[in-house]
Structure 1
Amino acid sequence: MARPAFRVDAVLVQAVIAGALSFAHLHDLAAAAGQDGWKAWAYPISVDLLLVASWRRLRSEGPSRLAWCWFVIALVASLGANVATAGLLDLEQVPAWLRILVAAWPALAFMGGTLLAHSATGHPAPEVPATTSEPEPVPSHEPETLPAAVTETEDTPGLPAADPLPAPEPAAPAAPAAPAVPAALVDHARKVAADYQTRTGTPIDTDTLRARLGVPPQLAHTIAAQLA
């Protein structure tokens, strides 16, 4: 028995019935408010599309004040139409304030749809200088050549020659210092790591962090070390 398929079909049927009833209520309210003809049919489509667009924005890109705002507005418009047509409102004598709200809805829905479609998503990464300043190489101290021993005059030939001094060992080159990380970049990386862990349930790795921030590998390792 394909029970999962039956459950999916039942959910779809329930969604179609609920959508049809809400569509009819919005149409009746728009028609009672003076929006006759094709305009009364366009109002339910506008409300439902704004509701779906804001919910899709919330599901795909995470919590957002803009998406939540327009989701609540569309939900209030849909629920308000359903409640108003349940006998609590005389559709033969619609109050003036409701006519104003219905007439203003197209402009409001157009603004909401435009903002949801064209608003920037995510947090812009702070600008990182293209080239990081590298530490200047430390000059190696080469052993200085000692002057030749002063030859003794022929008057003192019996003195032994002095042993040559040992050459000083060359200094080890200093290890390159870690690149300096701006505080704004560290804060942004911490937000990116927290958002990644919230979505996936696992800490962010260095390669993913470097790809999200768009920084060189050495700088990404330094930021990951500070976030650990």
Structure 2
Amino acid sequence: MARPAFRVDAVLVQAVIAGALSFAHLHDLAAAAGQDGWKAWAYPISVDLLLVASWRRLRSEGPSRLAWCWFLIALVASLGANVATAGLLDLHHVPAWLRILVAAWPALAFMGGTLLAHSTADHPAPEVPATTPEPDSDREPVASPEPETLPVAMTEAEETPALPAAEPLPATEPAAPAAPAVPVPAALVDHARKVADDHQTRTGSPIDNDTLRARLGVPPQLAAAIAAQLA
């Protein structure tokens, strides 16, 4: 089924009617304020163009203080003309302050249109996050990730069979001490024999040369000679 080439839109019709009425009210107010002839027809065009330009700036570049300011100025001018021509104002005796506002409107509209056309958007610049986050005392410290080579090493360790534990070597009898190379006093030999007997009583094994030397506090050669005397 073919669609019709032209379809009447109720919203569009309503917009045309509202625009025509607002246009007529602005024209009547400008003419009553002393702007006769073609100047009275130029005023509604100026107000509507400023309103459309500020609204387009809001739609295209987002909200901004400049666009909202001039949109409200144009809206107040349009609504003010509609209210003023509703019988609340005597159009045959327009007050002086209204004549001043109507006469100053062209310069105001020109400045607003120029600023909207040649100024950049005043959006705040986005904040750049810091490269290093600040430490949070309430959060628990997060453990640093392990190096990538760690899982590989663990895998190799798991795949490699464990070697059997080495069996302890059988205890051997202590080697016979060498013949004394230095003379040993008899009193020192008696004292060493008491120390050796005491060590064997407490531990159940003969005293070795290092322990005997440490207990007597003698040099290694003398300790070896004493051990030979005790054998």
Q: Which runs of 4+ in 1 moved over 4 A?
A: 122-125
Deviation at 1:188, TM superposition (A): 3.5
User: How big is the shift at 1:104?
Assistant: 0.3
For residues 117-151 of structure 1, give each alpha carbon's deviation from its aligned partner in whole angstroms, at most 9, with x where no partner exists: 011125597xxxxxxxxxxxxxxxxxxxxxxxxxx
User: Distance between the aligned counterparts of 2:72 and 2:36, measured in 1?
Assistant: 26
Residues 102 and 124 of structure 1: CA distance in aligned 2, closer, same or farther (over 3 Å): same
| Aligned twin of 1:85 | 85
Q: Secondary structure at the match of 2:9?
A: helix
Question: Radius of gyration: which is bigger?
Answer: 2
The 1:88–1:115 alpha-carbon spacing in structure 2 relative to 1, beyond 3 Å, is same
The one-letter amino acid of 2:44's match is P
Instruction: Give the corresponding residue for 2:100.
Output: 100
Other structure's SS at 1:34 match: coil
8 Å CA contact retained: 2:26, 2:44:
yes
TM-score (norm 1): 0.53
* 2:30 corresponds to 1:30: yes
Please say if residues 50 and 112 of structure 2, whose CA atoms lie closer than 8 Å, have aligned partners that are also in contact.
yes
- Corresponding position of 2:127: 188
Q: SS of the residue aligned with 1:188? A: coil
Unaligned runs of 5+ in 2: 134-231
% identity of equivalent residues: 86
Per-residue CA distance 1:176-217 (angstroms, 9 max, x = gap)? xxxxxxxxxxx5346xxxxxxxxxxxxxxxxxxxxxxxxxxx
Normalising by structure 2, what TM-score? 0.52
Contact residue 67 and residue 116 of structure 2 kept, 8 A: yes
Does the residue aligned with 2:127 lie in a helix, a strand or coil? helix
Alpha-carbon distance, 1:9 to partner: 1.3
Tell me which amino acid in the other structure corresponds to 2:127. H
Corresponding residue number in structure 2 for 1:76:
76
Give the Cα–Cα distance (whole angstroms) in 1 for the partners of residues 85 and 111 of structure 2.
26
Aligned to 2:63: 63
The aligned amino acid for 1:14 is Q
CA distance in 1 between counterparts of 2:123 and 2:73 reads 25
